[in-house]
Amino acid sequence: MPEPAVLAGEAIPAEAVLAGGGALLAALPDATLVLDEARRITGYNQAAVALLGGGPPLAGQDCRSALSARDDTGRPLWPDGWPRGAALRSVRAIPPRPVTVRRADGTDVTVIAAGTYLRDRAGLVAGAVLSLRRPPRRVGGEPSAIEVVSTVSHELRSPLTSVKGYTSLMLNRWDRLSDDQKRMMLEQVNHDADRVVRLITELLDISRLETGRLVLRRQLVDVARLAATVVAKVRLEYPDLDADIRFDEAMPQAWADPDKLEQVLTNLVENACKYATPEGLLVQGRVTPATPPPGEMINVVVTDRGEGIPSGDLPKVFTKFFRRSEGKPTGSGLGLWISRGLVEAHGGALTAESPPGQGASFRFTLPVVDVEKLQEP
């Protein structure tokens, strides 16, 4: 008798599982693959054939070549064997994660991959049952919860990896590092910590904006000075950033929440670097009459020298979770949507323009407020 494998806590004959599961496997609604110890496909169902678009029989193929599976960073999935966690005998499940697989016709499809390890009596991996499910879409085409979590996790991973790496380096080699090296590392850690805080703040702002519970802590803000601070911080991530900051000398201070205003400016400057070019950026500020009158508005415009935004994408740039395919489409797709909500909460507006071949301009307005009148009884 073959050694039994363990599936979801129950003992199942390894021979039956690794042979494909028969009628049970065929009855599963999701695309399902059964893998042996060497990650060869020993069984699959019709849903897997439909997902992968036919092609050569899957049985006997190495799942790496059969699926050409890649994670959300584009790297091959499990290139050197099972995930490291599989070495722990207590680990039974393969957690759900977005994976891109290659269909028989050469096209790619994104699926949510999850599974269960099959273990022998000694606790060693004898194979796995892997399910591939197309991610569900919410109304309006918004990503599912797992896609949002995956995207946010990826956004957090980069700065946290940097923070961990630099702090470990300083702790282990403090006496061998020069003062300049220590300063550089601490500046980068500070910058990456700010990125993490900003991302978490954006996630919290989603619910606050949608439920009308956003609280603004207003004070007088020098927008020109804030713009210069934002450019200096973004330059840590984009060393080639070349920005010209031009504000009217008579520009009044804004009555605004400085943290939220910094969040808006950072999103606009980073977007210009990401999707256009960090060179030749122009940040302008001036005061214009309010429309409709009376009153005045502070106008701030961030203009890049990129190729511009395609006309088909321009109406979508403030849509939640929208990410353009041009440039480097990373990020959560929430920055511009949240920025518009923050500006509107201040009583202003955020708009975008992109004349063909002339780059893109993002403009936001803030009402000029007479603070002395606010303090009158």
Within a domain: residue 140? no
Contact 82, 35 (CB under 8 A): no
Which residue range is the domain that position 149 belongs to?
Answer: 145-211
Per-residue pLDDT of the chain (377 residues; tens, 9 = 90+): 334 333 333 434 444 444 445 566 777 788 888 888 899 988 888 888 888 887 778 888 888 888 888 876 677 877 778 877 777 776 778 877 778 888 888 888 888 888 888 888 888 888 888 889 876 544 444 555 555 555 566 567 767 887 888 898 899 889 988 999 899 889 888 888 887 887 787 777 777 776 777 788 899 999 999 999 999 989 988 889 999 999 998 889 999 999 899 989 999 999 899 888 899 999 999 999 887 777 889 999 999 998 888 888 888 888 876 766 554 445 566 788 888 889 998 889 999 999 877 889 999 999 998 877 665 55
Structure tokens at 215: 């609280």
Contact 51, 130 (CB under 8 A): no
Number of Cβ within a 10 Å radius of residue 80: 7
At 7 the pLDDT is 39
Question: In angstroms, what is the C-alpha Rg of the chain?
Answer: 26
Among the three residues 104, 135, 166, which one is the final residue of a domain in this structure? Answer: 135
Do 52 and 117 belong together in one domain? Answer: yes
Note the Cα 54 to chain centre separation in Å. Answer: 32
CATH number, position 183: 1.10.287.130
At 328 the pLDDT is 46
At 256 the pLDDT is 93
Contact 283, 350 (CB under 8 A): no
Do 155 and 276 belong together in one domain? Answer: no
Within a domain: residue 264? yes
User: Long-range contacts: 71-76, Cβ < 8 Å, 24+?
Assistant: 71/97, 71/98, 71/99, 71/100, 72/97, 72/98, 72/99, 72/100, 72/150, 72/151, 72/154, 73/154, 74/100
Do 246 and 131 belong together in one domain? Answer: no
Do 95 and 207 belong together in one domain? Answer: no
Do 303 and 354 belong together in one domain? Answer: yes
**Rounded Cα distance, 136 and 209, in Å:** 25
At 198 the pLDDT is 75
Cα 302 to Cα 236, 255, 265, 280, 306: the distances in Å are 19, 20, 8, 11, 12
Within a domain: residue 27? yes
Within a domain: residue 154? yes
At 114 the pLDDT is 84
At 287 the pLDDT is 92
Cα atoms found within 13 Å of the Cα of residue 142, Cβ hemisphere only: 11
At 2 the pLDDT is 38
Do 40 and 163 belong together in one domain? Answer: no
Do 198 and 260 belong together in one domain? Answer: no
CATH number, position 47: 3.30.450.20
Do 315 and 256 belong together in one domain? Answer: yes
CATH number, position 346: 3.30.565.10
Do 360 and 292 belong together in one domain? Answer: yes
Within a domain: residue 106? yes
At 15 the pLDDT is 47
Peptide bond into 292 cis (omega under 30): yes
Give the residue carrying structure tokens 């041009």: 326
Contact 31, 47 (CB under 8 A): yes
Among the three residues 211, 235, 254, which one is the final residue of a domain in this structure? Answer: 211
**Rounded Cα distance, 323 and 146, in Å:** 17
Cα 310 to Cα 114, 282, 291, 314: the distances in Å are 37, 20, 28, 6
Within a domain: residue 335? yes
Within a domain: residue 175? yes
Count of domains forming the chain? 3
Do 231 and 187 belong together in one domain? Answer: no
pTM: predicted TM-score of the whole model, two decimal places: 0.55
Do 149 and 245 belong together in one domain? Answer: no
Among the three residues 77, 100, 135, which one is the final residue of a domain in this structure? Answer: 135
Cα 124 to Cα 27, 96, 117, 216: the distances in Å are 28, 21, 9, 56
Within a domain: residue 224? yes
Do 180 and 122 belong together in one domain? Answer: no
**Rounded Cα distance, 315 and 353, in Å:** 10
At 148 the pLDDT is 55
339: exposed, middle or buried (Cβ count in 10 Å: 0-12, 13-18, 19+): buried
